[in-house]
Amino acid sequence: MLPSLYAADAAGGWNLGMSATSQAMLAEAKLPRGPLLELGCGGGAFAARLAAARPAPLMIGLDLRQEALAFARSRSADVAWVQGNLLHLPFPAGAFALIVALDVVDQQRIDAERALDLIRALLRPGGVTLLRVSAHPWLFGPHDVAFGAGRRYGRREFVDTVRSAGLEPVRVTYANCLLSPAVVAVRLLQRWGVLPFTRDLYQKDGLNRLLGLALQWEANWLRRRNLPWGASLFVVAARARDADNTVSKGER
């Protein structure tokens, strides 16, 4: 199952669209010179795209699973692929200009507060972190369990959690917005047992293309402004004392 998921990261509307929204969140971020790190890189598709879009002295993709890293190594030789545990990171303090954690700190068996403390410690002065978590606790259901999510966050709850770790949010926005009414309906019906859950729902050709078109539009929108609602929540944050050194779009 995992190899097929890693292969899908590089193709298909859903995966490419979510990657595009994540890239859009960094479009105007001004970073200090230094290495970039993606935590929980999986099959490496986003880390490889980030390395191409933002040349840096070093791009590192870290994942706990060796099978993920084997796939990632076959995808790109421009990234240093490292096996490691999010809560026991093998890097010195102040090492990174950018740390990306997409659907990572909300995963099962992850202590979000400790993970964010570690991310803050690894950022160099002026460094930025891009975080994405699943939004709206009331939406938690079989989909989240199947894909490893331990929880979903409310906007204020997650922003407060980020701040408590010594990180200052400089941009907060939802994503996965345009088709979220349909997504919410499906997730609730699955949770109530009315609709059977299938892991490959988003890979169905017609739905995948529709999701991809919607997410590509959202990516273009997110380059300029925020979205008021959605199934995913993004936070761009800086070390608190360095917040003035980054581009902030605030809560627009």
Per the DSSP assignment, residues forming a β-bridge with 171 are 236, 250
- Phi-psi category of residue 126: left, alpha or beta, with phi > 0 → left and psi -120 to 50 → alpha: left
pLDDT at 251: 44
What is the tally of structural domains in the chain? 1
Tokens matching residue 168 = 């200052």
CA distance 98 to 29: 10
Cα 154 to Cα 135: distance, rounded to the nearest angstrom: 6
**pLDDT tens digit sequence for 166-190:** 999 999 999 999 988 988 998 899 8
Residues with Cβ within 8 Å of 36's Cβ and at least 6 positions away in sequence, in order, are: 50, 51, 54, 56, 58, 59, 60, 96, 97, 98, 99, 100
Which CATH number do you get for residue 129?
A: 3.40.50.150
Chain segment 16-41, per-residue pLDDT in tens: 899 999 999 999 888 999 999 999 99
Looking at the domain assignment, is residue 251 inside a domain?
A: no
Q: List, for residues 210-237, the tens digit of each pLDDT value.
A: 888 999 999 999 999 999 999 999 999 9
State the chain's mean pLDDT as an integer.
88
Q: Which domain holds residue 8?
A: 2-245
C-alpha dist (Å) from residue 68 to 6, 63, 72, 77: 7, 7, 6, 15
Give the lowest-confidence range in 135-149, 190-204, 215-229: 190-204
Does the residue 26 lie in any domain?
yes
Instruction: Tell me the pTM.
Output: 0.91
CA angle 87, 90, 96 (to 5 degrees): 95
Residue 250 domain-assigned? Answer: no
